[in-house]
Amino acid sequence: MRNKNTLEYLGIWESVYNSNLNYGEFAIIKSQAGLNSYKLSVKEWVEKTNAIGLKATAGRYGGTFAHKDIAFEFGMWISPQFKIYLIKEFQIKEFQRLKDEEYNHLKLNWNLQRTLAKVNYHIHTDAIKENLIPKEITKQQAGLVYANEADLLNTALFGITAKEWRESNPDIKGNMRDDATIEQLVVLSNLESINALLIQQGL
Give CA separation, 2 vs 19, 34, 67, 71, 141, in Å. 24, 6, 19, 16, 90
Separation CA 61–CA 58 (nearest Å): 7
Beta bridge partners of 54: 66
Question: How, if at all, do strands 63-66 and 54-57 pair?
Answer: antiparallel
Q: Coil, strand, or helix at residue 33?
A: coil
- Taking only the tens place, the pLDDT of each residue in 115-133 is 666 666 777 777 777 777 7
Q: Which residues does 193 contact at the CB level (< 8 Å), separation at least 6?
A: 120, 123, 124
Beta bridge partners of 66: 54
Separation CA 76–CA 83 (nearest Å): 4
Separation CA 58–CA 99 (nearest Å): 46
Residue 81, pLDDT score: 83
C-beta separation of 57 from 46 below 8 A: no
pTM for the whole structure: 0.39
- Taking only the tens place, the pLDDT of each residue in 13-67 is 888 899 898 988 888 888 887 676 778 888 888 889 999 998 888 888 788 888 8
Geometric angle at alpha carbon 47, from 7 and 33, rounded to 5°: 25
